[in-house]
Structure 1
Amino acid sequence: MTAMEAQLSSLLLREHYGEIVERVGTFLIRTGAQPLRVIVTETATSTDQVKKALCVLLQHGLVTYQMHKRGFVEYVAQSERCLRILRFPRYIYTAKTLYGDTGELIVEELLLNGKMTLTHSVKKVADRLTETMEDGKSVEYSEVLATFTQLADTHFVHRCPGINNTGETSSTEGRPPPAPTLSTNEKEMFTVPKVTLIGRGKRRRSSDDDEGATQSKKPRKDAGAESGQDDAIYWQINMVRFHQHFRDQAIISAVSNKMDQTSSEIVRTMLRMSEITTSSGAAYTQPLSSNEIFRALPAGYNISKQVLDQYLTLLADDPLEFVGRSGDSGGGMFVINLHKAVASLATSNLESIVQERFGSRCARIFRLLLRKRHLEQKQVEDFAMIPAKEAKDMLYRMLSANLVTLQEIPKTPDHAPSRTIYLYAVNSLPAARMLLQRCYKTVANLIERRQFETKENKRLLEKSQRIEAIIASMQATGAEESQLQEIEEMITAPERQQLENLKRNVNKLDASEIQVDETIFILESYVNSTRAKSS
């Protein structure tokens, strides 16, 4: 892990889990596998606090453990998973888009708790949904269970990897259970056990403390019957499946911008038919015939089979090469070239960055080098139709930014400049890696800026929260409007303006984080696909 990634991971751990967890997690990220004794000594933290921090990290899958050959346990940080904390809002929003409020809350609870049993997750989500309903209705456990089953069927959630997924622990006292191993049957990872949950969500009692304590001691009769089958099965978010969905959406959007809505819907249908059967690292989707694609098209798209074949031919002949042919049976077999699509998306991001940073003429030269691979300076001037002095200056500016490479090809052994050919080219992979590190640094700067803004206005925020709490309690007791207005006037006009400015700035920083993360995702996917292709 690079220094930029380690810095960003440290900031994310501190923001979401606190200072002690951040201290332990950052130490493991920087040093690798370490035993408990070394962690306690090097972090200058008490043993109990380190154990609690490790429990939090293990619960959220940010740290794993392994047995050393000498018999002690070593803890290893999962660096890439630490960076995925940045993507939590996108996971939650995607679940809301696909499965509504119930799916959103299921994913949110699993992310907040790291891992949960099916019964616990269903009850908690049902309670939260019931509290938001104003008409006094309650949400049935069966409704939440149905949505959870849909998430598992589409692989957005899966069972936590473990020894047969039964939650067995080691019999050796004082040691953690054996290191988790993936289940041999992948299908079981997404199979929801047959559990009958009878009951509905509960609202919180707004009574005095004594009555609340009495209520909490009473067992809930409808808390969910016959749930013993899933007590030892824990579930978590399948981040790989979410990333696959993000990639598919990026491909669909690119096809829509390049061609039209019908073409993007055809590509969407092909991706939807292959989303479960195609592995995340595959270069191509499963081959699909035009007849299968025609039958799977949404009912609203009333296009004939002949028109579909024409669209598929256009997509297959397009220079982007997102869609490729793999045979002629069944009216023609077609696949989505996933690696090629990701590479095109990454290249498009590189071109956009060059244009924003150096201008449209530099972007023209950059695209020219991408298309022609290697060009001399005179050829760049001629093809791009840019004066020699300007072209030379632009090439050197991009060369100094490591976006363009220069290769020397000597004609003679003495490497004399007059007898040497100088070729300019674009090496996309190193450029993507460099820009990826800059994106990590950008997100770290955004987080630090947001923390600074919050710290500078800490007193005003606390005052605003106290006043809001007073108003809420007075509204619950039926206070008059004049009394509420008098409490609201405790915040002066300049303070209110300052709060609005703070809120606007924080919202801008949050939106910037999400936008930069979209670029990070495309560049990461390109780097990973290139690595998988080379291996």
Structure 2
Amino acid sequence: MVSQHGILLAVGIISDHFGPLVAKVCDCLLRHGELSLQEIVRRLELSPGQVKNSLLVLIQHNCVQAFSAPKGRDRTVTLYLAIFDNVLHRLRFSKFLSVIRADIPESEVLIEGLLQNGRLTFDQLVGRTISKVPEGSIRPAREEIRMNLNKLVHAHFVERCPKPEPFIDPLVVQQPTSSRRRAPKNFEKVISLEQKIVNTADLSDAERFSEIPYIIEDASDVNGCSRDPVDSAKRKRGAFEVDEELNSTIAENEVLWRANFEQFTFCLKKKFCADRKKLKLKVGTHPIWESFCEANLTEKDTDSVTSPINGILERLRQKEGGASMTLDQVTRVLEDLQCTTSNENPEAYTFDLRKMVESCRNEEIESLVKKKYGQAAFTIFRLLVTQGGPVETDQIIDTTILDKQIVHSTLYKLWKDDYVDTEKISSVAGTGYAQFYVWRAKSTFREQFIDNLYHAALNLRQMVNYIAELLLEVIF
């Protein structure tokens, strides 16, 4: 479930980019979940045309996914679901461009067009790319633009758009729940439904990352003559050549392309972990770690980095001092870096990004606790997070070597601000009866931390908009 500040931030982004009317529709979907067109109209008291146009804008920019669901026995209804993460990704567009600028600079104009316009055909990308060329400069050829787009598709930075309206039965996702635990299960239902819709709408990897096929042009095309589709149809070609040309024409004129946010966030996550890991590396191991990250295979898993040993060695030889390193030295360093191999592919090493990101996130939260409550709170909170379960008060005192009064007062502050939970335990020891308290880090402390980040980003965005309005008043 999206937090209140997260919704306000997302709605603010949509309002800045597309106006208040589209933001109003987005806000309705974020707060109420999947809704039909009629339900949105009824809730917002807008005309069907206004709501429909707003939904088209949100779908065009990958912020809403439509899907069909059963209604009654023989009817279906189209529902619309806001994709919260895709809305927030709009704040990262400059970082996405920096990734392409570093990896595939010749394709930067193409990815910029997709980020700005959401979904485009290849013909639209060609027209936009040519229009961006300054006067007097050489315009890129169509085949050159095709090649640059295929580079993005091959690297999984660009994908074919998902199914426009997949069929999903939300009741299938729902699991039977008891009345006592109904609320947590409903929370799981919302999350799993959104993920199910996204997964169902996605094409298979073979379709999703299918490049635009190249076709051999006739001599008339090479000489600069325009291609006549009527003449082309009359040419006698083999069945295979006709199919190839047809597939290419469809891919150019009908297929919609969009940026693959999943791959971009994976690259940013990988870069963050690589930079964070460098600070803790031993002397002489930096080239091996860099080679491991550079040799990463393109896979669907975005929670880990997998690199073949041959690719690591190949890139290592290109670095200063890397040619003299032996295979045993490299494998030993990779194992020290917590890179693992599997029985299925012993020649490839995998590093778990998810664990490192979670560890870094915990460190950030702990640093905020230290800044707000002091060193004692930092020590206690880190102990509770590390233990991952209930810890008795006396055990906290013994482990942290802190004064009893300080521990009690600090635990009370953390409990009051929803960082920790407590529970009273009763026990019978011999003939006596004793009660003691156990403490654990609250299961929602990470969500609370993220909500605080949303709140800070929202305040910063409002301040920037306010300053911009003041500047406009001064100018005019």
Q: TM-score range by the shorter chain?
A: 0.7 to 0.9
**Aligned-pair distance for 1:149?**
1.9
In structure 2, the partner of 1:277 is 299
| Match for residue 131 of structure 2 among 102, 127, 130 | 127
Correspondence 1:255 to 2:270:
no
In structure 2, the partner of 1:425 is 440
Overall identity of the aligned pairs, in %: 22
The runs of 5 or more residues in structure 2 that have no matched partner are 166-197, 218-223, 230-244
In structure 2, the partner of 1:475 is none
**Aligned-pair distance for 1:231?**
0.2
Distance 2:44 2:283 in 1: 55
Correspondence 1:390 to 2:409:
no
Distance 2:112 2:264 in 1: 14
Compute the TM-score of the two structures, normalised by the length of structure 1: 0.67
Alignment of 1:45-84 (within 5 A): 45-67=46-68, 68-69=70-71, 70-84=75-89
RMSD (Å) for aligned C-alpha atoms = 3.7
**Aligned-pair distance for 1:323?**
2.0
| Match for residue 358 of structure 1 among 356, 367, 373 | 373
**Aligned-pair distance for 1:234?**
0.9
Residues 487-532 of structure 1: CA distance to partner in whole angstroms, max 9, x if unpaired?
A: xxxxxxxxxxxxxxxxxxxxxxxxxxxxxxxxxxxxxxxxxxxxxx
Distance 1:147 1:80, change over 3 A: same
Alignment of 1:483-494 (within 5 A): none
Correspondence 1:293 to 2:312:
yes
Compute the TM-score of the two structures, normalised by the length of structure 2: 0.74
**Aligned-pair distance for 1:257?**
1.1
Distance 1:329 1:64 in 2: 37
**Aligned-pair distance for 1:181?**
6.2
Give yes or no for contact 1:63–1:78 (8 Å, CA) kept in 2: yes
In structure 2, the partner of 1:234 is 256
Distance 1:329 1:453, change over 3 A: closer
Correspondence 1:17 to 2:18:
yes
Give yes or no for contact 1:162–1:180 (8 Å, CA) kept in 2: no
Residues 268-318 of structure 1: CA distance to partner in whole angstroms, max 9, x if unpaired?
A: 43344444135225xx555744x5532343502433575563454355346
Distance 2:45 2:375 in 1: 53
SS in 1 for 2:428: coil
SS in 2 for 1:233: coil
| Match for residue 402 of structure 1 among 395, 398, 418 | 418
Distance 1:269 1:242 in 2: 20
Give yes or no for contact 1:253–1:264 (8 Å, CA) kept in 2: no
In structure 1, the partner of 2:364 is 349
Higher RCO (Cα < 8 Å, 6 or more apart):
2
Distance 1:87 1:410 in 2: 51
Distance 1:372 1:189 in 2: 43
**Aligned-pair distance for 1:354?**
1.9
Structure 2: which amino acid aligns with 1:98? D
Distance 1:224 1:312 in 2: 58
Structure 1: which amino acid aligns with 2:274? I
Distance 1:386 1:55 in 2: 60
Structure 1: which amino acid aligns with 2:409? D
Residues 240-273 of structure 1: CA distance to partner in whole angstroms, max 9, x if unpaired?
A: 1111112211221121011147545434433444
Residues 178-223 of structure 1: CA distance to partner in whole angstroms, max 9, x if unpaired?
A: x99657642232222135799xxxxxxxxxxxxxxxxxxxxx9989
Give yes or no for contact 1:266–1:297 (8 Å, CA) kept in 2: yes
Distance 2:452 2:275 in 1: 25
In structure 2, the partner of 1:501 is none
Correspondence 1:449 to 2:463:
yes
**Aligned-pair distance for 1:160?**
0.9
Structure 2: which amino acid aligns with 1:239? F
Give yes or no for contact 2:366–2:382 (8 Å, CA) kept in 1: yes
Give yes or no for contact 1:244–1:280 (8 Å, CA) kept in 2: yes
Number of residue equivalences: 412
In structure 2, the partner of 1:266 is 288
Distance 1:391 1:315 in 2: 41
SS in 2 for 1:410: strand
The runs of 5 or more residues in structure 1 that have no matched partner are 165-178, 199-219, 464-535
**Aligned-pair distance for 1:232?**
0.6
| Match for residue 435 of structure 1 among 449, 453, 460 | 449
Give yes or no for contact 1:14–1:22 (8 Å, CA) kept in 2: yes
In structure 1, the partner of 2:184 is none
SS in 2 for 1:228: helix
Give yes or no for contact 2:317–2:323 (8 Å, CA) kept in 1: no
Structure 2: which amino acid aligns with 1:62? C
Distance 2:418 2:63 in 1: 34
Structure 2: which amino acid aligns with 1:241? Q
In structure 2, the partner of 1:313 is 332
